Amino acid sequence: MLKGLTSDLTGSADICRPLKSFESALGVQYLLPSETILFSLQSSKEEFTFTNHALLKIHGSSATTTRKLVTRFDYRRYTIDHVKFETAGRVDRDVEIKFSIGSEAISIDIAKDEEVVVRDYYKALELLSRAQKKNERTWDLARLALKHSSDALYLTEASGQTLTRQSEEALGWLQDVYERSHPQCYRDVILAAFQEIRTNKPRQSMKIGVVSELTGSSDICQPVTDFASLQAKDYLEEGETVLFALSSAKEEYAFANMSLITVCGSSAMSTKRTVERYEYMTERVTQLQFESCGVTDRDCELKFHMGNRAFSIDIAKAKLANAQHFYRALLALSREQTDNARTWELARTALDASVRSTTTTDTTGKLLVEQATGVHAWLQETFAKTNPRCYQSVIQAALERVDQA
């Protein structure tokens, strides 16, 4: 009680720490059969326990109360999305992981001295989110495949197959795909995120930040030549590499082979940074513009959208050639993404047209599941080709063409 009261009075009641011994986790009491804890964050007021099946959120109105509300979010049903990481400012006591799970917005404050460990939790949640979305896409494509297959087939009396029997087989196939695309256990996905541990990056000095704020240059970026100095390097995933980057005292934009990683603060003096990822696989670069420098301007500007987010990056006037270089690289990326999206839509259109123009007589009563399985495999293969995770070859080729020119 005394410890909880102290936490409430000092304002640290909701600042969590990673649990080293899961036996002390409140979530242990609410585990289901075959469920195990993978990591847990606990404060005197609340606990976030991530198991192989679900997130268990255990929340009290204060640190002193023993009355707790337990909410369960099964990964099978609730998708994790919009994962963000916020570093600590100089006067802050905590870092923060933010994400949504289903319609619930989650914000977890974690002690500042645990930042290195917490980065791995951020990666784990990002990879879990990606796996959930991939599984959901598999399920959607399976239903689409079955629909098109059923439209193109009809039973004959010679098949000896009744509509009820056909429905049972189709139901069995769908149930099998659902079980594969909606696993109860995500243990392997989560544990894979903890395999790679990266080192801390030294912070920029306060002196640089003060000068930048006073001169109004805190958001004017310079091209980064030493990628090892990037803050974004601490948030790269396995197989991910930075291809080009822009950085100012206030913000950083690292364009990797799989995503754009932004690390931004409210001011140049603040060390508190919000880390966000924009995957090329799901977020297209659109409305790309380049604004050159006027006579009195100190910067040129690179503007574009990724998904619903509008970006405007100011780049030092002296680096105009580099800025034009990056513009061409983003243009190549945008064109490739657009071509891929168009190819995927054309594939869907071609499938629709094929179904309308082809009717197959099913004399065996077994073609529906076979046809659906084949169409599903084709849809998955086509989607994988037209929605690649890595765009390294496209971006590097564009950068090399500019260098040669």
Which comes out higher in pLDDT, residue 240 or 269? 240
27: tokens are 């979530």
Spatial separation of the C-alpha atoms in residues 241 and 392, rounded to whole Å: 9
Which comes out higher in pLDDT, residue 364 or 295? 295
Question: DSSP letters along 158-223, please?
Answer: GG---HHHHHHHHHHHHHHHHHHHS-S--HHHHHHTTS---PPPPPPPHHHHHHHHHHT-TTEEEE
Mean pLDDT within 377-392: 88
Per-residue model confidence (pLDDT) at position 404: 61
User: Residue 261, class by beta-carbon neighbours within 10 Å (0-12 exposed, 13-18 middle, 19+ buried)?
Assistant: buried
Per-residue model confidence (pLDDT) at position 79: 94
Spatial separation of the C-alpha atoms in residues 125 and 10, rounded to whole Å: 30
29: tokens are 């009491």
Structure confidence at residue 344 as a pLDDT band (50, 70, 90): confident
| DSSP class of 25 | -
Spatial separation of the C-alpha atoms in residues 338 and 12, rounded to whole Å: 48
The class (CATH top level) of 1-125 is: mainly beta
Structure confidence at residue 187 as a pLDDT band (50, 70, 90): confident
Per-residue model confidence (pLDDT) at position 194: 62
Query: What is the SS3 assignment for 12?
Result: coil
Among the residue ranges 84-88, 259-263, 399-403, the one predicted with the least confidence is 399-403
Same fold, 1-125 and 202-404: yes
The domain segmentation of the chain, as residue ranges, is 1-125, 202-404
252 touches 264 (CB < 8 A): yes
| DSSP class of 394 | H
Is the predicted pLDDT of residue 386 greater than 70, yes or no?
A: yes
Structure confidence at residue 217 as a pLDDT band (50, 70, 90): low
60: tokens are 């009290």
Single-letter amino acid, residue 32: L
Crossing angle of helices 163-181/367-386, nearest 10°?
A: 30
Structure confidence at residue 268 as a pLDDT band (50, 70, 90): low
- 49-53, 64-68, 199-203, 394-398: range with highest mean pLDDT: 49-53
Mean pLDDT within 237-259: 92
User: Residue 256, class by beta-carbon neighbours within 10 Å (0-12 exposed, 13-18 middle, 19+ buried)?
Assistant: buried
The class (CATH top level) of 202-404 is: mainly beta
Mean pLDDT of the chain: 82
Mean pLDDT within 324-339: 92
% of the chain at pLDDT higher than 70? 80
Q: Name the residue with tokens 């495999």.
A: 377
97 touches 121 (CB < 8 A): yes
Is the predicted pLDDT of residue 3 greater than 60, yes or no?
A: no
Structure confidence at residue 63 as a pLDDT band (50, 70, 90): low
Is the predicted pLDDT of residue 233 greater than 50, yes or no?
A: yes
Per-residue model confidence (pLDDT) at position 9: 45
Q: Mention every residue, 6+ apart, whose C-beta is less than 8 A from residue 196.
A: 123, 238
Report the alpha-carbon angle 35-40-45, nearest 5. Answer: 120
Structure confidence at residue 209 as a pLDDT band (50, 70, 90): very low
Per-residue model confidence (pLDDT) at position 88: 87
Structure confidence at residue 190 as a pLDDT band (50, 70, 90): confident
328: tokens are 């061409």
Q: Tell me which H or E stretch contains 315.
A: strand 309-316
Q: How many helices (H) and strands (E) does the chain have?
A: 8, 18
